[in-house]
Amino acid sequence: MPSRWEADALVIFGITGDLAQRMTIPALYRLERRGLLDGPIIGVAGSELTDAELVVRARKSVEEAGGPVIDAIFDRLAGRMSYLSGDATDPALYERLARMLTGRRRPLFYLSMPPSLFGPIVEGLGTARLTAQARVAVEKPFGHDLASAIELDRQLRQVLEEEQILRVDHFLGKEPVIELEYLRFANTAMAELWQRGRVESIQITMAETLGVGSRGTFYDKVGCLRDVVQNHLLLVLALVAMEPPVGPSAKDLWDKRVEVLRAIPAVEVGNYVRGQYAGYRQTPGVAPDSTTETYAALKLEINNWKWAGVPVYIRAGKHLPVKDTEVRLILKEPPRLGFMPDPRRVEPNQIVVRIDPLAGMRLQLCALGESDEWRTVPLDTIFARELGPAMPPYERLMLAALTGDSRPFARQDAIVESWRIVQPLLSYPPPVHPYPVGSWGPTEADRLVAGSLPWQAPWVPEGESA
Ligand SMILES: NC(=O)C1=CN([C@@H]2O[C@H](COP(=O)(O)OP(=O)(O)OC[C@H]3O[C@@H](n4cnc5c(N)ncnc54)[C@H](OP(=O)(O)O)[C@@H]3O)[C@@H](O)[C@H]2O)C=CC1
Ligand SMILES: O=C1O[C@H](COP(=O)(O)O)[C@@H](O)[C@H](O)[C@H]1O
């Protein structure tokens, strides 16, 4: 049954911006190729452009995203597109937009704009009476701390109901992140292991080989904790630790995720290590005396029946040795039985769910080799080889937004809880430690995992260059 929120028009605010050009337009092309688009697409931005000039830019975006561009498909997409130029703070823009949307009842407004404009845009849409049956997608960041996240929501809620707001976090569109729920609850083997009686600790790593590049001005105001930990990684943790949802709706899913976040106490500053890669301060747009972190590592706990006593370690950073995002459950050691040779050398089993770049799962077991040597034996699965290629996140999220599926979009209470968890770290940031480019971050982060297995080198599947 079609959702009552299925869109009959798409309006992209910020169509000329970096995100729209690199991600949104190529995603729309791929949806067109699958035959999943319907209705007009209106791009809005400040630049003075004609419809034809927008189409030329769109073609360039699709070409730069890679893969062949099929003329007939691109022409179909281009045929839907039109452009509206104006200032998002000018009420006249919304009157013009309303005229372009005549006859359309359920537009999706996708805000790929500076976050400071989210409030004014929603107000403009409301004043032009465009929001009755509309939905509004907003890109992260949802605030820059707890207070501003609450304030942003207050502004949006003056015009919109909660279910009209789609908070886009592209990690929630990643196939293996979605897969986590099924892996855990469709497999008794996993479900039985996934609890404090079996798990010694959890490590979540998001390592990037690149630095901040041309995003210095943006990044220096944000830092690693806000950029990827508060949003992507805490939402992934919520999925890793949640109880099974009682039903299939977005509410069922988010109720369980939020339960996990509510059970996580705010992180103590002593459990947080910040790092900055060598040379960061020379990046264009970065302050010469910047103390912004490009690496963050923290230890937290989940105070509920299932996870109490299991430390969760999260680390993320730029200019690290590999590009890798993974969740690693380190299982408890087996009992030391007398019949096994040298039982102290048995390594604990580990379950790794790799999110990026080549998604998959590893079960790390232990076996005795020919010469009575303990060996680590990996059982690996690459999801794309078993399940076929996954839909890229922006395509999946755009499709969900257009078809009225709220499940992959973050709910406000989850956002508030995740800011609460990191707020002490933002209010009282510890000193930042330098680290060399290509290293695993500052060695100070090693003290966080004292008492658990050290930080584990991520699983990089064979054939994938590090
Ligand atoms: N870039 C990325 O990789 C990511 C970005 N995001 C988020 O997405 C959003 C957009 O980011 P990004 O694309 O990088 O930003 P850009 O600065 O590249 O683009 C901003 C867009 O907003 C338009 N714009 C700005 N001010 C006005 C105004 N007053 N009136 C009308 N249009 C205006 C610009 O139009 P014009 O230039 O034509 O005037 C442009 O199209 C931000 O919220 C960002 O945090 C989230 C994840 C990743
Ligand atoms: O949101 C962000 O994510 C990217 C990493 O995303 P991925 O899909 O390539 O893992 C990160 O580089 C960027 O700094 C951040 O804003």
- Residue 319 in marked binding region: no
CA dist 203 and 201 (Å) reads: 7
Query: 371 falls in which pLDDT band (50, 70, 90)?
Result: confident
**Which of 231, 232, 354 maximizes ligand 2 atoms within 8 Å of its Cβ, making it the mutation to test the pocket?**
232
**Which ligand is nearest the CA of 94, by number?**
1
Is 232 catalytic? The answer is yes
Question: What is the mean pLDDT of the segment spanning 356-380?
Answer: 91
| pLDDT > 70 in the chain, percent | 98
pLDDT digits (tens, 9 = 90+) for 118-134: 999 999 999 999 999 99
CA dist 155 and 145 (Å) reads: 15
Helix/strand/coil for 217? helix
- What is the 3 state secondary structure string of the chain? CCCCCCCCEEEEECCCCHHHHHHHHHHHHHHHHCCCCCCCEEEEECCCCCHHHHHHHHHHHHHHCCCCCCHHHHHHHHHHEEEEECCCCCHHHHHHHHHHCCCCCCEEEEECCCHHHHHHHHHHHHHCCCCCCCEEEEECCCCCCHHHHHHHHHHHHCCCCHHHEEEECHHHHCHHHHHHHHHHHCCHHHHHHCCCCCEEEEEEEEECCCCCHHHHHHHHCCHHHHHHHHHHHHHHHHHHHCCCCCCCCHHHHHHHHHHHHHCCCCCCHHHEEEEEECCHHHCCCCCCCCCCCCEEEEEECCCCCCCCCCCEEEEEECCCCCCEEEEEEEECCCCCCCCCCCHHHCCCCEEEEEEECCCEEEEEEEEECCCCCEEEEEEEEEHHHHHCCCCCHHHHHHHHHHHCCCCCCECHHHHHHHHHHHHHHHHCCCCEEEECCCCCCCHHHHHHHCCCCCCCCCCCCCCCCC
- Report CA(309)–ligand 2 centroid distance (Å): 31
Strand-pair category, 41-45 with 9-13? parallel
Burial zone of 327 (CB within 10 Å; 0-12 exposed, 13-18 middle, 19+ buried): buried
Q: Which of 142-156, 364-378, 401-415, 443-457 has the lowest mean pLDDT?
A: 364-378
- CA-nearest residue for atom 36, ligand 1, is 46
- CA-nearest residue for atom 12, ligand 2, is 208
93 lines ligand 1 (CB under 6 A): no
Q: What pLDDT, on a 0 to 100 scale, did the predictor assign at position 2?
A: 65
220 lines ligand 2 (CB under 6 A): no
CB 306 within 8 A of CB 283: no
Q: What pLDDT, on a 0 to 100 scale, did the predictor assign at position 285?
A: 97
Triad 171, 421, 157: Cα angle to 5°:
70
Q: What pLDDT, on a 0 to 100 scale, did the predictor assign at position 154?
A: 97
How many CA within 13 A on the CB side of residue 84?
Answer: 22
- CA-nearest residue for atom 10, ligand 2, is 356
Q: What pLDDT, on a 0 to 100 scale, did the predictor assign at position 27?
A: 97
Q: Which atom of ligand 2 is nearest to the CA of 206?
A: 10
Q: What pLDDT, on a 0 to 100 scale, did the predictor assign at position 295?
A: 98
CA dist 109 and 38 (Å) reads: 15
- Report CA(349)–ligand 2 centroid distance (Å): 30
Q: What are phi and psi of 11, to 5 degrees?
A: -120, 120
Question: What is the mean pLDDT of the segment spanning 257-264?
Answer: 98
Helix/strand/coil for 160? coil
Q: What pLDDT, on a 0 to 100 scale, did the predictor assign at position 220?
A: 98
Q: What pLDDT, on a 0 to 100 scale, did the predictor assign at position 87?
A: 98
Burial zone of 242 (CB within 10 Å; 0-12 exposed, 13-18 middle, 19+ buried): buried
Q: What pLDDT, on a 0 to 100 scale, did the predictor assign at position 456?
A: 96
pLDDT higher than threshold 70 for residue 386: yes
- CA-nearest residue for atom 2, ligand 1, is 19
**Which ligand is nearest the CA of 171, by number?**
2
Question: What is the mean pLDDT of the segment spanning 353-374?
Answer: 91
CA dist 368 and 341 (Å) reads: 9
- CA-nearest residue for atom 4, ligand 2, is 228
- The first and second tokens of residue 49, run together, are 């452009």
Query: 368 falls in which pLDDT band (50, 70, 90)?
Result: confident
115 lines ligand 1 (CB under 6 A): yes
Query: 346 falls in which pLDDT band (50, 70, 90)?
Result: confident
Question: What is the mean pLDDT of the segment spanning 186-212?
Answer: 96
Q: What pLDDT, on a 0 to 100 scale, did the predictor assign at position 211?
A: 98
293 lines ligand 1 (CB under 6 A): no
pLDDT higher than threshold 80 for residue 164: yes
Pick the catalytic residue from 144, 232, 319, 433: 232
Q: What pLDDT, on a 0 to 100 scale, did the predictor assign at position 372?
A: 81
Question: What is the mean pLDDT of the segment spanning 178-205?
Answer: 94
- pLDDT mean across residues, the chain: 95
CA dist 59 and 192 (Å) reads: 50
Q: Which atom of ligand 2 is nearest to the CA of 219?
A: 14
Question: What is the mean pLDDT of the segment spanning 446-462?
Answer: 95
Q: Which of 177-186, 281-290, 301-310, 395-404 has the lowest mean pLDDT?
A: 177-186
397 lines ligand 1 (CB under 6 A): no
pLDDT digits (tens, 9 = 90+) for 44-59: 999 999 999 999 999 9
Query: 1 falls in which pLDDT band (50, 70, 90)?
Result: low
- Report CA(18)–ligand 1 centroid distance (Å): 7
- Residue 413 in marked binding region: no
Q: What pLDDT, on a 0 to 100 scale, did the predictor assign at position 17?
A: 95
17 lines ligand 1 (CB under 6 A): yes
**Which of 12, 19, 122, 208 maximizes ligand 1 atoms within 8 Å of its Cβ, making it the mutation to test the pocket?**
19
- Report CA(228)–ligand 2 centroid distance (Å): 7
Q: What pLDDT, on a 0 to 100 scale, did the predictor assign at position 466?
A: 47
53 lines ligand 1 (CB under 6 A): no
Question: What is the mean pLDDT of the segment spanning 150-174?
Answer: 97
- Report CA(296)–ligand 2 centroid distance (Å): 14
Question: What is the mean pLDDT of the segment spanning 212-238?
Answer: 97
pLDDT higher than threshold 80 for residue 344: no
**Which ligand is nearest the CA of 140, by number?**
1
Q: What pLDDT, on a 0 to 100 scale, did the predictor assign at position 335?
A: 83
Question: What is the mean pLDDT of the segment spanning 402-411?
Answer: 96
Angstrom distances, CA of residue 437 to CA of 208, 318, 434, 440: 11, 8, 10, 9
140 lines ligand 1 (CB under 6 A): yes
Burial letters for 378-392: b for 16+ Cβ neighbours within 10 Å, e otherwise?
eeeebbeeeeeebbb
175 lines ligand 2 (CB under 6 A): no
How many CA within 13 A on the CB side of residue 19?
Answer: 17
CA dist 425 and 224 (Å) reads: 12
pLDDT higher than threshold 90 for residue 175: yes
